[in-house]
Amino acid sequence: MCVIFFYANSQPNANGYKLILASNRDEFFARDTQTAAKWTNVEHVYGGIDLEPGREGGTWLAIGSAHGIFKVGALLNLTGEPKPRNAVAHKNILQPHNNTKNSCHSNQNKQRQSNNEHFLLGRGMIVADYVRQSDVEHNIINYNQRLLGDCTKYSAFNFVSIEIGAVSQPAQIKLLSNVPPTLMPFEQGQCYGFGNSLPDSPFEKVRHGQEQFEQIVNEHGHSDVATLSAELLQLLKNKHKFWPDAELKRRAPSWGEGLSALNVHIPEHGYGSRTHSLILVDANNRLHFIEETMAGLDPNGEWERTHIEKQFENI
């Protein structure tokens, strides 16, 4: 389970933002993960990395910038959908930040994949492959069109992609879902929210969260980074349960109420909102990637805060 809210506009006012993005990653607390950082083998990409054996190198959220173009990718699973049949093994594993952590598992993973012809493709590579490449083949249009033809090889997902380039061109926003295979465009300059259901049947927490996010953007969309980020983090940490929720109950009958808050915490399963992420890009192409993530297995324990700041080129 994850949730994402964002606003993208290639033509902001001088003190505004090209991108305002807030996202929660809901995952099992014990899943091995690399915190947000610059990818050592892809210099222009920033984000976290999944280190789960067999899924190393994938990511749920990342941003890349090359040749004056920002590319953002985010992956959300679709809850309650059956796994597709006849999937094939993924053969393109992107190495994580620290290669030494992955080397001892590489031969085992290759053997595991080659021995299972129905091994599902790792969905996290959808984001990684999109943001790390800057050629025409991997632009937002071509990449999504190609993915649309292959999307049934993955477990159910929503893939959010954003491309922000020159001020003369509007930001491009697309959502690709694979159950059923659908590619939808969205206009820049509006506030959006997506979760673990199809966009025409959002969970109550996504609907309410989008309304609150839009209010934050309207009131603080020209504020400094400290003020804006504080408001967005407060939204992501909201523990109010938007329950009952018919769509969430249908998709997750056993966990529905526990998943109904923006900030999920299901202690009996060691599961919840283990990472809060913000990505801000101002009118001058300065990136702020802010992440708060659990340092251990207890959400009431220590949290680590990362703030990456990077000035990218103007075009």
Please report, in tens digits, the pLDDT of each residue of the chain (315 residues total): 699 999 999 999 999 999 999 999 999 999 999 999 999 888 899 999 999 887 888 999 999 999 899 999 999 999 998 765 444 434 333 333 333 333 333 343 443 333 333 456 789 999 999 999 999 999 999 999 999 999 989 999 999 999 999 999 999 999 999 999 999 999 999 999 999 999 999 999 999 999 999 999 999 999 999 999 999 999 999 999 999 999 999 999 999 999 999 999 999 999 999 999 999 999 999 999 999 999 999 999 999 999 999 999 876
Which DSSP string do the residues of 246-315 spell out, in sequence order? Answer: HHHHHH-TTTTTTTSBSS-EEGGGTEEEEEEEEEEEETT-EEEEEEEEESSS-TTS-EEEEEEEEEPPP-
Q: List, in sequence order, every residue forming a beta bridge with 193; answer none if it has no partner.
A: 5
Residue 100 neighbours by CB under 8 Å, 6+ apart: none
Asked if 59 and 118 count as a contact pair (C-beta separation under 8 A), the reply is: no
Asked if 279 and 291 count as a contact pair (C-beta separation under 8 A), the reply is: no
Phi, psi (rounded to 5 degrees) for 97:
-55, -45
Q: Tell the residue number behind the tokens 């941003």, with chain if given.
A: 63
Map out the domains of the chain with their CATH numbers: 2-311 (3.60.60.10)
What sign has the CA pseudo-torsion 42, 43, 46, 48? Answer: positive
Asked if 161 and 130 count as a contact pair (C-beta separation under 8 A), the reply is: yes
Alpha-carbon distance of 297 to 115, in angstroms, equals 33
Q: List, in sequence order, every residue forming a beta bridge with 219; answer none if it has no partner.
A: none
